Every structure is written in C-alpha cells, then in structure tokens.
Amino acid sequence: MKPEELSLIKTKHNAAIIAPAGHGKTEMIVDLVEAAERKVLLVTHTNAGIDALTKRLRKRGVDSNKFYITTIAGFCLRWCGAYPNTGHIRDISVTDKAYYPMQYTGAFSIFQNSWARNILDRTYGCVIVDEYQDCVLDQHKIFAEINKTVPVIVLGDPLQAIFGWAGKLVSWKDLPFEIVEIDTYPWRWHETNPALGQYLNNIRPVLMPGLDGKRVQIDIEPVKDCVRVVPSSCKYDLSILNYVRDYKSVLFIAKWPTEQSAFCQSTGGIFQNDEPQGLNYLYEVAEKFDEQNGMISAKTIMDFLENSTTKVNQELGSYKKHIVNGDGDFSGLRKHKDFGQFLSAVIEDPSIENILNTLEWVKNKGDFKFYRKELFYELCRSLRYSRENDISILESAQKIRMMPGLQRKYPGFKMLSSRTVLSKGLEFECVIIDMGKALTVTDYYVAMTRATKEIILISDKKTVVLETPKL
C-alpha cells in the first residue's frame, strides 16, 4: 500500500477495502499491521487463512507482539468461554450444528456491553477482518458492534462471496463501514502469466452486474495464452488429460459432489476428490460400523470401497452379490480368496481390528486405485482413534474432522477434483471448468482465479448465461 493510503486509513474509525483475487490483499494486511502504532487483532475465517497470513507476516519480519491472529470462531469461543452467562451459552457438543451459531450470537450479546468493548479497546489499536465477503450476518453483527468502540478494518471482494449456503451473507451495499479505494495490481499472475491476470481484470466488469441480480451472458471462446475451450467429449474420453500433462498442479471444478467424485473415478485416481471438512459420508459409514452387526459392517465396507476405489465391481463383485443376498459363505469363490477370509472375519466379529485388516488388504493390493484417498485415510484414522479413546466410531470421525487439534491436512494431491466452495484460497497452474452445468457469477470468478497459467473451459456452447448468486 502507498504511504498516503496507509495514512488515510489510520484516520478512519472504520474502513472497507475491496481487493480482487490475486491483487495483494494479504500484503495489504501485512502493511496495515506493520504500520499500526498499537497491537492489532487480526481475524480470518479458517486455519488455512491463519497459516497464510502468519507466513507472510514472518516473511516481512513483523514482530509477533504487534498482532494476535485468530479465526472468527476461535475469537468467539474465547469470549464465550470467559463470559458464558453473558453470552447465554449452553453446554452442547462441538459437533452439534447449533454449536458455532450459538458462539456467534453469544459473542454479539457480550459485545453489546461497553465493558467488553472497552477491554478490546485497551488491548488492541484496531481489529482487521480478512475475507469479509464470507461473513454471515451473525458474524458481521459482532464486528459492527465492536466498531462502536474499536476501529475496524475489513477486506474482501463481493465477487468472491460464495458461502451463501451457510446463511445470509453481509451486503457490501449496506456495509456500515466506509469503502476506501486502494490501488491494486494482479500480483498472482505477475510472474506466471501477466496476460491471464489482465484477462481476469477485464472480465470483472462483465460479471459484476450479476451481483445485482442482472442477467450475465458470457462468450465461451479461446483467449490466446489464457483460455482454452474444449468439447464435452474430452471429459468422457479422458483426452482432457492430454492438455494438462505438463502442468505440476491441476484443478477440475464441478458443480455437484457427485460430478466431482465421478470425474475422479473416471480418471482412475489420477484426480483425487477434494473432501469437505464436515465429511457426512464418513459419518454415515462410521454410524453403520457402530451397529456392530457383521453383515451390515461387511456391506458397509463393500459400499465404501465402491464409493472410493476403482475396479471394485470387476475384482470383488462376487463378494458384493453374496452380501447383498445376505449370504456370508464365500467358500465357492476363487478370486481374491484372502479378501474373502478378511470379510468373513468381519461378519463373524465386526471389530475395529477386523474392519481395518480388510481395508488394509485393499490398500496394499495393486489391482485397486483410490480416487478418494483422504476419505479412506480418514476412515482408518477414525477407527483407530475410536479404539484408542474408547468412544464410538461416529464420535471419533466427527472429532478428527471438526476439532482443530485433531485435523490433518492432505496437501500432496497435485491433481484435484473440487468445487469452488472447497478450493477457494488455493492456487493451481491450470484450472478446468465444466461449463455444462450452470454456475453463478461468483462461482465462475472464483474458479477462474484459482489458475495461475491457464484456464480450460469444457463447453459445447458458444455462450453461457451465469446464474445470480445467493447472497
């Protein structure tokens, strides 16, 4: 940020900065923290966001005493834990759907008190909130309330607001913070492909009317050194792989989870499925194992493998037919007899050890390729954590996915099949977008800006109408 821009923001009791994707928003935050005269409370949405900001602050050499960084959820948990009566906090499990909304409304109740805001004011010179377009109203109300006493600076981009499913998102039109214009530049593409950065800048005015509910029609056409257009047949005959073989990282964007995993399966595990943090299918499998019924557990294993692994029907189809018919006698089957022995052990005793032995057999067998490796590893981890802590497999699965200290990252997948809601914040050399399914203007923009070198659009049409996002 320019010195005069920093000086201007310092004079404001609140400020809202709009920064397009890849235009140096993280650097702006570092500039603001570095220039601050008092300690800054820095708030973002995810642990990944914390990691990214912390690394950039360290790289700049900013003294760690100049800031305290946390997630919105972590910030609210801390205050609600300290003042549970004021926040009207009930004792419910962290896995309960009402848990986090209760923390947000609780924090709002706390900061309606001037004494709470004064504590913040004595501790911090200002509050900076990142990715503000992703704030639901319950979160926004907290920072609006804090701003009655403490300066608040928010940064974000309304064209990247894709979390409308989580609740009503904050409206930048009605924002009670003053929008401050800051000069920006597409730094993400400066070294990888400046032409792509310029193209993405040029398309923003085309997409922006969609935020007002207006019809947005875009032309599907190649753009030199930026956008390649291929027919839908490329997805089904897998010739799409020929276009991306030289890239170190590739992202395929689907609209629905079923399309996302189906593409992975069709590539034989070359593309891995990007799993949501709240992995409902994992919970369903865990709950069935908790029934401790041999035949149910055996069928659950077969269904799970079919939904995460290639060649299950070809290699293990006979076992599946037996189990579907309620028949656990595999003595007449010759193919993969050792698998039959492991599965028989599960039917006789559906213990965690027997289930793990069966899954490990598949993992170690070269005939199969996992296209949902994260799902497979998390199921095995849930089973082991359940055994080690003497809790249900379902509770174990929920804890390892939702509790920060137990979560595990899976960053090693170079080719990923995902959706915009999962891939936001990530970068890939090449992004493939299936235009056969109607996307919103925000989904389309977020998907395109994940690419650092090239965008590939799969489409048989010359024009596509983008949907109005749910904001």
Q: What sign does the CA torsion over 98, 101, 102, 103 have?
A: positive
Q: Phi and psi (nearest 5°) for 437?
A: -110, 135
Tokens of 160: 């990247």
Please, what is the average pLDDT of the chain?
A: 93
- What pLDDT score was predicted for residue 469? 79
Strand-pair partners of 154: 16, 129
pLDDT at 349 over 80: yes
User: How many Å apart are CA 119 and CA 279, to the nearest integer?
Assistant: 38
Dump pLDDT digits (tens) for 122-172: 999 999 999 999 999 999 999 999 999 999 999 999 999 887 666 788 888
Q: What is the DSSP string of 410-459?
A: -TT-SEEEE-HHHHTT--EEEEEEETTS--BHHHHHHHHTTEEEEEEEE-
- pLDDT mean over 15-32: 94
- pLDDT mean over 262-274: 94
Dump pLDDT digits (tens) for 436-451: 887 899 999 999 999 9
> Please, which pLDDT band fits residue 75 given cuts at 50, 70 and 90?
very high
Distance of CA 145 to the CA centre of its chain: 28
User: How many Å apart are CA 63 and CA 61, to the nearest integer?
Assistant: 6
- pLDDT mean over 242-248: 94
Residues 36/66, Cβ–Cβ less than 8 Å? yes
Strand-pair partners of 169: 136
The single-letter code of the amino acid at 293 is: N
Run of H or E residues at 146: helix 137-146
User: How many Å apart are CA 372 and CA 328, to the nearest integer?
Assistant: 27
Run of H or E residues at 236: helix 233-236
Residues 228/393, Cβ–Cβ less than 8 Å? no
Q: What percentage of the chain carries pLDDT values higher than 70?
A: 99
Run of H or E residues at 107: helix 99-111
Residues 457/230, Cβ–Cβ less than 8 Å? yes
Crossing angle of helices 99-111 and 72-82, in 10° steps, is 70
> Please, which pLDDT band fits residue 404 given cuts at 50, 70 and 90?
confident
- What pLDDT score was predicted for residue 164? 67
